[in-house]
Chain A
Amino acid sequence: MSNLAVLPIVIPLISGILLALLHKKIQLVRVLAQLFTGINLVVAIYIMYVVQKNGSIILESGGWDAPYSIVLVADLLSILLVVTTNIVALACVFYAPKSLSKQQEEFYFYTFFFMLISGVSGAFLTGDLFNLFVFFEVLLMASYALIVLGGGKVQLRESIKYVLINLFSSMLFVTTIAFLYSVVGTVNMAQIAQRVQEVDQKGILTTIAILLFFVFGTKAALFPLYYWLPKPYIVPNPVISALFGALLTKVGIYAILRVFTLIFVHDTDFTHNFFIWIAGFTLIFGAIGALSTNNIKLVISYNIIPAVGFMIMGIGLYNEAALSGTIYYLVHDMIIKAALFLLVGSVAYLAGTSDLRKIKGLIHHYPLLGWLFFLSAFVLAGIPPFSGFIGKLLLLQGGLQNDEVVIVIIALLSSLLILLSMIRIFVRGFWGEKDESIRVDKKAARAFTMPIVFLLFFSVLLGVGAELFYPMIENIAAYLLNPELYIESVLKE
């Protein structure tokens, strides 16, 4: 029964290998990829159902007992994120055939796509810090291959920066694990947590904690480590940008959330207050960045940064409302970022340029696309009743509970700036006179909108049906605030 936890990692892995063998038969590969992603989503939802009913699933690989084996831990938080990952994947796999050229598809796009999903799911599910590094590398290797797919001049130039910054932070990650191993003598997260608790997190452990935060902060694009993110994310094909924007930074945030609610929770005055500062700067600089450019893809890319700021703010505040807000926002942001990258990708394709100054009056040609963009701008900025609102409400509530008024004001202000950056695209690009010079391609537009509608459906559902999801999110937050539960479930003491 406990073998269930490995399925979200193994199914994409096997699919990826299988599709690599068939890569020339592109029609077959497309159908199979869609089928496998669908199966993976169903399996993930089933696991979530089991976890909800019976509690966390712990898989001890090789039959060794917990601290000695590599464990996979499917608790409610990780499986919720795996389900969200698969929803995003399903939308992307249906968008891909219209967006990618035949060559790109034949050049193992689907293989790397499945490897990426496998790595992301693995990073969410693992209960072992070194294993987390390995899964980070799996997803990064897949992302390196995806970001150079197609290989134009600009694309290669930006890929170099992306690969270098990730390589450097990975090496720091290994070094930090070595430090931690020399202090606590284990890499199992539950056992690390137990031992850190025993020695009451002395100075050296807090130093290691901040080093780990630096590593994850680089991957999650926090201030002041976000400068590498915006440009490399816009150079590949929109469907690849959507996968990156939705999944990669979120894995970094998940790692911070896990490590700083489970392991390093004994010196919150220092570590978590530090996060609030970082969150404030991330929010401000990300929102300013989004306003600084006329490239519509770059606007969305910059918008990743304040979203990450919101999540880190919740982790910094460290109370039940704020953590529920972070989890809500995490799920919401994975879905809406994918939808937005696909949307601007479609707009850039249909208008023939991603320069906002050259786009006008698109709504006359593509009304549905225009209103979808309008809707997603509202979802992103957190206008009620959509999903962004619930997450932000909980975060602000958590902020006020801790009397952190400054961060609350910054969060509200940056929300306004985010809305401005989105509405700017809508007003300039969609409104205005009808541009007769555009070659209208209704068929492509219809094909593009289907996956976007699918994603926005979940976004709206998360907001309107908040009553449905909130109890579960609240459960997760309460569970995170009590690390004993995780330790007991893994080590079984």
Chain B
Amino acid sequence: MEIIMSILAGILFTTGVYNLLQKQLLRIVIGTALISHGAHLFILTMGKLKRGAPPILEYGVSEYTDPLPQALILTSIVISFGVTSFLLVLAYRASKENNTDNMDQMRGTENE
């Protein structure tokens, strides 16, 4: 199971990086979202996947799922959610102001 999840995270990373390297601004935003999904999936996998065990640590329980990766993912999801929504607004405003969403034309060499 861990192997499949790792491969899935890898695919998300690959597609994310591919999109990140595109010229169109919206694709880049989607790329960052894909990468963050990959990262979250990866944290879950790294904490070892287990089924049927409670995530809470109690006295006398020997079988339990590690609660820490879940806490980490939750934090990370909230952060990337906030950043992505900010990035969408920023991308919209920047393309409006500059009259283009092509990163080639947004390089900005005039003030060198």
Interface, chain A (partner B; CB < 8 A): 130, 133-134, 137, 141, 144, 148, 151-154, 156-160, 163-164, 167-168, 170-172, 174-175, 177-179, 181-182, 187, 231, 293, 295, 298
Given contacts A151-B97, A158-B108, 5 further A-B contacts (CB under 8 A): A170-B83, A171-B35, A174-B72, A175-B42, A295-B112
Chain A nearest CB: distance from B101 CB in Å?
10
Interface, chain B (partner A; CB < 8 A): 20, 25, 28, 32, 35-36, 38-40, 42-43, 45-48, 68-69, 72, 75-76, 79-80, 82-83, 86-87, 90-91, 93-94, 97-98, 106, 108, 111-112
In the complex, the chain B residue whose C-beta lies closest to that of A231 is B108
**Given the complex, which residues of B lie within 8 Å of A137, measured CB to CB?**
79, 83
**Given the complex, which residues of B lie within 8 Å of A134, measured CB to CB?**
75, 79
Known contacts A154-B111, A178-B39, A181-B46; is-contact A171 B91 (Cβ 8 Å): no
Contact A160 B25 (CB under 8 A): yes
Contact B39 A157 (CB under 8 A): no
* Complex CA distance for A332 and B75, rounded to whole angstroms: 35
Could you list 9 A-B pairs, sorted by A, with CB under 8 Å? A141-B83, A156-B93, A160-B91, A170-B83, A174-B72, A178-B45, A181-B47, A182-B46, A187-B72
Known contacts A134-B75, A151-B93; is-contact A178 B35 (Cβ 8 Å): no
**Given the complex, which residues of A lie within 8 Å of B94, measured CB to CB?**
156-157, 159-160
Determine which of B38, B42, B83, B112 lies in contact with A167 in the assembled complex, contact meaning CB atoms within 8 Å.
B83
* Complex CA distance for A170 and B84, rounded to whole angstroms: 13
Determine which of A152, A163, A171, A175 lies in contact with B87 in the assembled complex, contact meaning CB atoms within 8 Å.
A163
**Given the complex, which residues of B lie within 8 Å of A168, measured CB to CB?**
20, 32, 35
* Complex CA distance for A281 and B38, rounded to whole angstroms: 33
In the complex, the chain B residue whose C-beta lies closest to that of A172 is B39
In the complex, the chain B residue whose C-beta lies closest to that of A131 is B75
Interchain pairs with CB closer than 8 A, number: 98
Contact B28 A164 (CB under 8 A): yes
**Given the complex, which residues of B lie within 8 Å of A178, measured CB to CB?**
39, 42-43, 45-46, 69, 72
* Complex CA distance for A171 and B94, rounded to whole angstroms: 23
**Given the complex, which residues of B lie within 8 Å of A156, measured CB to CB?**
90, 93-94, 97-98
Chain B nearest CB: distance from A387 CB in Å?
32
In the complex, the chain B residue whose C-beta lies closest to that of A234 is B111
Determine which of B36, B68, B72, B82 lies in contact with A171 in the assembled complex, contact meaning CB atoms within 8 Å.
B36
* Complex CA distance for A179 and B45, rounded to whole angstroms: 10
Contact A153 B97 (CB under 8 A): yes
**Given the complex, which residues of B lie within 8 Å of A167, measured CB to CB?**
32, 83, 87
In the complex, the chain B residue whose C-beta lies closest to that of A182 is B46
Contact A157 B72 (CB under 8 A): no
Known contacts A156-B98, A181-B68; is-contact A174 B76 (Cβ 8 Å): yes
Determine which of A141, A159, A174 lies in contact with B90 in the assembled complex, contact meaning CB atoms within 8 Å.
A159
In the complex, the chain A residue whose C-beta lies closest to that of B16 is A171
**Given the complex, which residues of B lie within 8 Å of A175, measured CB to CB?**
38-39, 42-43
Chain B nearest CB: distance from A147 CB in Å?
10
Chain A nearest CB: distance from B30 CB in Å?
12
* Complex CA distance for A175 and B69, rounded to whole angstroms: 12
Contact A130 B72 (CB under 8 A): yes
Chain B nearest CB: distance from A304 CB in Å?
18
**Given the complex, which residues of A lie within 8 Å of B40, measured CB to CB?**
174
Chain A nearest CB: distance from B26 CB in Å?
12
* Complex CA distance for A163 and B91, rounded to whole angstroms: 10
Chain B nearest CB: distance from A220 CB in Å?
20
In the complex, the chain A residue whose C-beta lies closest to that of B106 is A157
**Given the complex, which residues of A lie within 8 Å of B45, measured CB to CB?**
178
* Complex CA distance for A153 and B108, rounded to whole angstroms: 10
**Given the complex, which residues of B lie within 8 Å of A177, measured CB to CB?**
43, 72
Contact B39 A174 (CB under 8 A): yes
Contact B68 A293 (CB under 8 A): no
Chain B nearest CB: distance from A321 CB in Å?
39
**Given the complex, which residues of A lie within 8 Å of B69, measured CB to CB?**
178, 181
Known contacts A134-B75, A153-B98; is-contact A144 B108 (Cβ 8 Å): no
